[in-house]
Amino acid sequence: MNSIRSKLFLQIGSIVLILVALLILTNSLFLDDYYVFIHKNNIIKIYDTIKLYEGPYYKDDISSLLFNENKVKIEVLIRNQEGIVYSSNPQVEFLVDPSLPKRRHDSAPPKLIETKVEVIDETTFFRYAIDQNSKMQFVFLDGRMTNGDLIYILMPVESVLANSRIVNDFLLIIGSVVFILAMSVAYIISKTFTKPILRMNDATKSMIDHNFNVSCQVDSNDEIGQLATSINELAVALDNSIEDLKVKNIALEKQIDETNRLAIQRKVLLGNVSHELKTPLALIQGYAEGLEVLTDSDAKAKNYASIIHDESDKMNTLISKLLDIDQLESDTLILDPKEFDLVSLIQSQLLALEGLLKTRECQVHLDLPASISVLGDPILIERVIMNLLTNALYHSMDKNSIHIKITNEDNIIRTTVSNKTDSIPEVELHNLFDSFYKLDKARTRHKGGHGLGLSIVKAIIEAHLMNYGVYQEEDNISFWFELERQN
């Protein structure tokens, strides 16, 4: 019973049924009183008409009176001091004077017992009575005309109520017929109204199954017709978009496969080259150290040997970092997470850099709590902090300061390292974490570094499944990472 057709059918039927029921109930409750009220008004009109005929010659002008008697089913009796002037029914005479001799009649005269009196004016009353013989109810007007004649107009209530019952019975029959017709019309309307909606529902179900070669045939210009047109246009647009996406998806899959293939080759090449270079570089370092010892007397040769030793040391450091990055990115690194004090770790790294900080005349400003426990691999996090500190130290403006701050939000501890630097274009900020990326496009070496420190930070924090980032405010740049707090 959840379909629109059923709901619409039942709603229309319910409305018709309620209206018919209300009409019958209203008639049953108020129609009798309304009928009596109307007939009482008619009696008063007839009474006013009879008063126009006052005089001794009622019978000469009584034709309209007879017409009204037959029209509204009333009995009229007019009496003066001499006796009855006019009577439409001999039985009514006994209402006025029960001592009158009986005339020929088919049934016993009425014996009325008054039950209620309703005053119209000083000389006119409505009297309600019941006949003890027939148990029928009567309403009669008791009035006195200006010439002194008395008038009685009798109306049997039963005839009025009979009309009311006939109307109610007829209304019940008509209501039943109207209800049946209304339900038939409701069925036709609900079927006609929901047919295009069902078509649109079938079309949308087909679209869910990626079948867009459907159309809603609705021959109307109303809201339903406009909706059907929109669905048809949507199906065409989705079909075109899906086909376009399929083509782009195939191209993207090929591009991803090629990227993955190149990434794998790069990692393999990086690992192989790094391992292959370790041994010859170790030999070069060893022989350079030997040359330095053997050439103590030759300053120039000793200088060359020192240069060879320094450069081979730099190459060895570079290869070690490359191997670290390869290990981190290839998911072969095994973390050893434990609880440790992050503040103590930062202070120990600052102590290790104390000489370099003095040499570069750089001050460190701390905004740290007394202690705070976090969860992570302390050895790897130590490298993260060292890399961020050395990065800030090497790229900070001369005679400026480094700021280290720890904040806590929902038990996530964020460590931020900030320093003054030249403005960096927004488009290049997030590239700073890429391997070998350097803002110095000429790749001069006077600032030191290989562009691998931040990429190691990225790899370690991602291995911890935590967040990191960078943001810039005017000439101040801030690098941050997050760890989970431990109570």
pLDDT tens-digit series, residues 211-248? 767 776 666 666 777 777 777 777 778 778 888 888 88
Higher pLDDT, 453 or 408: 408
Which pLDDT score is estimated for 48? 78
Is 443 a residue whose pLDDT tops 50?
Answer: no
Which pLDDT score is estimated for 444? 42
Which pLDDT score is estimated for 445? 42
If you average pLDDT over each of 41-55, 113-127, 436-450, which comes out highest? 113-127
Torsion angle of C-alpha atoms 466, 469, 473, 476, degrees rounded to 10: 100
Which pLDDT score is estimated for 448? 47
| Model pTM above 0.75 | no
185: left (phi over 0), alpha (psi -120 to 50) or beta: alpha
Instruction: Report the amino acid identity of residue 5.
Output: R
Contact 440, 428 (CB under 8 A): no
Which pLDDT score is estimated for 12? 79
Half-sphere exposure of 26 (CA within 13 A, CB side): 7
Which pLDDT score is estimated for 408? 92
Which pLDDT score is estimated for 105? 45
Q: How far apart (Å, rounded) are the C-alpha atoms in residues 194 and 196? A: 6
Spatial neighbors of 257 by CB under 8 A, at least 6 apart, are none
Which pLDDT score is estimated for 374? 94
Which pLDDT score is estimated for 483? 95
Q: 240-332 in CATH: which number?
A: 1.10.287
Contact 413, 406 (CB under 8 A): yes
Tell me the pLDDT band of 441, cut-offs 50, 70 and 90.
very low
Looking at 3-12, 326-335, 387-396, which range is the least confident one?
326-335
Is 479 a residue whose pLDDT tops 90?
Answer: yes
349-359 mean pLDDT:
86
Q: Residue 243 CB: number of other CB atoms within 10 A?
A: 11
Q: Are strands 373-376 and 476-485 parallel, antiparallel or unpaired?
A: antiparallel
If you average pLDDT over each of 54-63, 312-321, 337-346, which comes out highest? 337-346
Tell me the pLDDT band of 106, cut-offs 50, 70 and 90.
very low
Is 468 a residue whose pLDDT tops 90?
Answer: yes
Query: pLDDT digits over 149-185, tens only?
Result: 888 888 877 776 777 777 778 877 887 888 888 888 8
Is 416 a residue whose pLDDT tops 90?
Answer: yes
Is 116 a residue whose pLDDT tops 80?
Answer: yes
138-156 mean pLDDT:
82
Tell me the pLDDT band of 316, cut-offs 50, 70 and 90.
low
Is 427 a residue whose pLDDT tops 80?
Answer: no
Query: What is the CATH class of 338-485?
Result: alpha beta
Which pLDDT score is estimated for 68? 56
Tell me the pLDDT band of 96, cut-offs 50, 70 and 90.
low
Which pLDDT score is estimated for 418? 92
Spatial neighbors of 456 by CB under 8 A, at least 6 apart, are 321, 324, 325, 328, 383, 384, 387
Q: 3-state class of 334 per DSSP?
A: coil
Higher pLDDT, 367 or 330: 367
Is 373 a residue whose pLDDT tops 60?
Answer: yes
Which pLDDT score is estimated for 346? 94
Which pLDDT score is estimated for 237? 80
Query: pLDDT digits over 11-60, tens only?
Result: 777 888 888 788 878 877 877 778 788 888 888 887 877 776 655 555 55
Which pLDDT score is estimated for 453? 77
Which pLDDT score is estimated for 279? 63
438-442 mean pLDDT:
49
Helices 223-294 and 157-208 pack at an angle, to 10 degrees, of 30
Please report the sign of the dihedral spanned by the C-alpha atoms of residue 86, residue 90, residue 92, residue 97. positive
Which pLDDT score is estimated for 385? 93
Looking at 129-133, 377-381, 457-461, which range is the least confident one?
129-133
180: exposed, middle or buried (C-beta count within 10 Å: 0-12, 13-18, 19+)? exposed
Is 342 a residue whose pLDDT tops 80?
Answer: yes
Q: What is the mean pLDDT of the chain?
A: 76
Which pLDDT score is estimated for 415? 96
Q: 3-state class of 261 per DSSP?
A: helix
218: left (phi over 0), alpha (psi -120 to 50) or beta: beta
Query: pLDDT digits over 259-310, tens only?
Result: 777 677 666 656 666 665 666 666 676 766 766 666 665 666 666 666 676 6
DSSP 397: P
Element containing residue 480 per DSSP (H, E)? strand 476-485
Is 410 a residue whose pLDDT tops 80?
Answer: yes
Which pLDDT score is estimated for 334? 72
DSSP 110: P
Which pLDDT score is estimated for 297? 59
Contact 153, 140 (CB under 8 A): yes
